Structure 1
Amino acid sequence: MQKLKLYGFNNLTKTLSFNIYDICYANTAKDRQSYIEYIDEYYNSERLTRILRDVAQDIGAHVLNIAEQDYDPQGASVTMLIAEEEFPHKKSVVGHLDKSHLTVHTYPESHPQNGVCTFRVDIDVSTCGEISPLKTLDMLIGSFDSDIITMDYRVRGFTRTEEGQKIFMDHDIMSIQDFISEKILKRYKTYDVNLYEERVFHTSMMLKEYDLDNYLFNLDADGLNEKTKKRIERNLEREMKEIFYGRNFE
């Protein structure tokens, strides 16, 4: 794509909101609490910071500032300011930092009765200028156990050519899925809602196949009878479908 000749700074804001859900089954209340504690420790603020640094490197951004926090009783968050230039010195570049950031928040929780535990990660990548958050999707999906993924991408504002003509979109996109590898897409059921004229794009993804052993916390599938396995599988599948479709099933 030919580089646009702009009047001033490219101030289009490109925001990717990325949600990942990891589903698990824990048999007892004690196991469910242990799972939450395990997740809370495994995805602490230090690990999340490393993931966001990889995101920043992937999109070609420079990290300017990091704020990280672990919460009691559980959860963590990291906020990172980024810029296109390593040493910002122009007023226009400094001014755009409020819109150039990476954030991540975690939310581990469990169902009160049926043993299903859900770990949610919210990641927001917001950039101005030429750098785009879309190129980091494969890396983000691979950084977590991604059973359900929901993504929203929006381009806001406008920039101008040297002749003064407004430009509301500076890159080609018809679907977020265009920026995810075919190898990853084959593993998921997907659907899109795209409002191209509004510059709003949405994609949801749900894992097609899974091995029950990978979803049991402190349990071995070989030690369970078939009736118990079926019950657990039904609960896991119901949780996934409810998240994927955004509604409760009776």
Structure 2
Amino acid sequence: MGEKMKLYGFNNLTKALSFNIYDVCYAKTAREQQDYISYIDEQYNSQRLTNILTTLTEMIGAKVLNIAQQDYEPQGASVTLLIAEGSMVPAGQTQLAHLDKSHVTVHTYPEYHPETFLATFRVDIDVATCGEITPLSTLDYLIGSFDSDIITMDYRVRGFTRDVNGKKLFLDHRITSIQDYISDEILRRYDTVDINVYEANLFHTKMMLKEIDLQNYLFKTDVYELPPRTRLNIMDNLRREMIEIFSGRNIY
């Protein structure tokens, strides 16, 4: 963020990042679909998600105040972290700097439909911070922590703060696109679209993986066991599913 701005009082800007990923898998039989859901549920249980969010919190220079985690039946998990910028300074029976309390949450949604032979694993992560902290610097880490076929991200800065001269500041860092905070190596792997509303400090980016390696989408099946026509049909189904999720509407 460069040199710090000289502000009057607290930095009251609230920065909210909503990060959603989708992982798609082809599983033909009901048993394969159930096994995939069970596998995903175990791979991304609440403890692993807690570790991911704790690392994220350290990366943005915040401190964890409280952790709540829960695994669900038949599937899914949730984790919520209450965080604060810097250390909390005790003053008698109260805590100073309480205005900078923020939170990080993650929820998982493994799901499938027997008619499509496709299973989808969705992860929703929300990071809300106050003050100088911005969660955008963690995007490479978040993308790398999951198998991300489709990614949608929303970032918004709300409220305002003032500099020492009383001028209102509605944004305290430069940003033209969420893509500015994602490495070139990652961006080369995805088709990416921006929809930004600059006058509202609202930024939206969605990404879809360019290349499909079919073996990565088959659960307990070797790609070379499948006839060529079957491979093409599966590839077509996978690509259609990904395009519809990426577009946010039923196309086919």
> Shorter chain as normaliser: what TM range?
over 0.9
The separation in 1 between residues aligned to 2:110 and 2:63, in whole angstroms, is 30
Q: 2:39: which partner in 1?
A: 38
Q: Which amino acid aligns with 1:34?
A: D
Deviation at 1:226, TM superposition (A): 1.1
Q: 1:249: which partner in 2?
A: 251
SS at match of 1:217: coil
SS at match of 1:242: helix
The separation in 1 between residues aligned to 2:19 and 2:97, in whole angstroms, is 26
* 88 and 82 in structure 1: CA distance in 2 versus 1, 3 angstrom threshold: farther
SS at match of 1:213: helix
Deviation at 1:163, TM superposition (A): 2.1
Q: Which amino acid aligns with 1:134?
A: L
1:87 aligns with 2:91: no
Task: Say whether the 8 Å CA contact 2:89–2:96 is kept in structure 1.
Answer: no
The separation in 1 between residues aligned to 2:250 and 2:228, in whole angstroms, is 26
SS at match of 1:162: coil
The separation in 2 between residues aligned to 1:113 and 1:96, in whole angstroms, is 48
Q: 1:178: which partner in 2?
A: 180
Written as runs of structure 1 = structure 2, the 5 A alignment for 1:12-27 is 12-27=13-28
- Which of 139, 152, 160 does residue 158 from structure 1 map onto? 160
- Which of 124, 127, 138 does residue 125 from structure 1 map onto? 127
Deviation at 1:4, TM superposition (A): 1.2
SS at match of 2:104: strand
Structure 1's unaligned 5+ residue stretches are none
- Which of 187, 198, 201 does residue 199 from structure 1 map onto? 201
- Which of 105, 108, 114 does residue 107 from structure 2 map onto? 105
Runs (4 or more) in structure 1 with deviation over 4 Å come to none
Q: 1:143: which partner in 2?
A: 145
Deviation at 1:92, TM superposition (A): 5.9
Q: Deviations over 1:214-245 (max 9, x none)?
A: 10001111000011111111111011000111
Deviation at 1:88, TM superposition (A): 4.0
Q: Which amino acid aligns with 2:97?
A: V
Q: 2:4: which partner in 1?
A: 3
Deviation at 1:72, TM superposition (A): 0.7
Q: Deviations over 1:164-223 (max 9, x none)?
A: 221100000000000000000000000000111100000000000021001000111100
Q: 2:49: which partner in 1?
A: 48
Task: Say whether the 8 Å CA contact 2:61–2:86 is kept in structure 1.
Answer: no
> Which is further off, 178-187 or 228-237?
228-237
Task: Say whether the 8 Å CA contact 1:15–1:126 is kept in structure 2.
Answer: yes
Task: Say whether the 8 Å CA contact 2:105–2:126 is kept in structure 1.
Answer: yes
Task: Say whether the 8 Å CA contact 1:14–1:126 is kept in structure 2.
Answer: yes
Task: Say whether the 8 Å CA contact 1:23–1:119 is kept in structure 2.
Answer: yes
Task: Say whether the 8 Å CA contact 1:80–1:102 is kept in structure 2.
Answer: yes
- TM-score, with structure 2 as normaliser: 0.96
The separation in 1 between residues aligned to 2:50 and 2:138, in whole angstroms, is 15
Task: Say whether the 8 Å CA contact 1:9–1:92 is kept in structure 2.
Answer: no
Task: Say whether the 8 Å CA contact 1:88–1:94 is kept in structure 2.
Answer: no
Structure 2's unaligned 5+ residue stretches are none
Q: Which amino acid aligns with 2:7?
A: L
The separation in 1 between residues aligned to 2:90 and 2:187, in whole angstroms, is 41
- TM-score, with structure 1 as normaliser: 0.96
The separation in 2 between residues aligned to 1:152 and 1:111, in whole angstroms, is 28
Q: Deviations over 1:70-102 (max 9, x none)?
A: 0111000000011112224476621442xx110
TM-align CA RMSD: 1.1
SS at match of 2:69: strand
1:189 aligns with 2:191: yes
Q: Which amino acid aligns with 1:13?
A: T
